Amino acid sequence: MISIKHDLIRPFGPSIFKAEMPSELVNKLNSYVDEIIDNNKKSIELDHGKNLTGDVTQEFKLEVEFMKVSGWSEFLMKCTDRWIQLAMKKKISKFSLISSWIVRQFENEYNPTHIHGGHISGAGFLKVPSSLESYKQKKDGMDYHGGKLQLIHGSRMFMSQSVLEITPKVGDFYFFPKLFNACSFSF
């Protein structure tokens, strides 16, 4: 049985569930991506970028069989179940994974603000550059901190921020309701 460290975060409105991916799962996912990159045919077959909004070079859809045997589907289901129990005091009766993919961002690549399908979305981190904290740029009068995950909900008002900016750490995974907008910027 997988033991998962987690926190329930509720900075505004809906809650956010933060889970720590087990290191063996992070390693399996990273190895899987390395295998895709080394196999040109598989890289083309699993290329998911045309379906996504980001300005990112490599985005790979995860194969259903890999998600099962690696424990990825189980991780997502267990975290979703725990989150619903904590936030709503209910048990889920059905878990259906629509899709899952890995985004590999490099310097000057980004994901603009966007919304995913389904009821629950998430973002996790398999690798994080050591230079992450030092990169900051201004665009349209706003500060963008390279590589940060921004979850956006509602509108900014007194004593209520509408943006939660998250500094990623390897193994962190954030679950959030579909109604959040999410964006990330690379370093």
pLDDT, residue 33, reads 95
Q: Which has more pLDDT, 44 or 160?
A: 44
d(CA 26, CA 43): 20
Q: Which has more pLDDT, 164 or 179?
A: 164
Domains of the chain in start order, with CATH, are: 6-185 (2.60.120.620)
Can you tell me which residue has the tokens 């899709």? 99
pTM of the predicted model as reported, rounded to 2 decimal places: 0.81
How confident is the model over 72-123, as pLDDT tens digits? 999 999 999 999 999 989 998 899 998 899 988 877 777 777 777 778 889 9
How confident is the model over 35-56, as pLDDT tens digits? 999 999 999 999 887 877 777 7
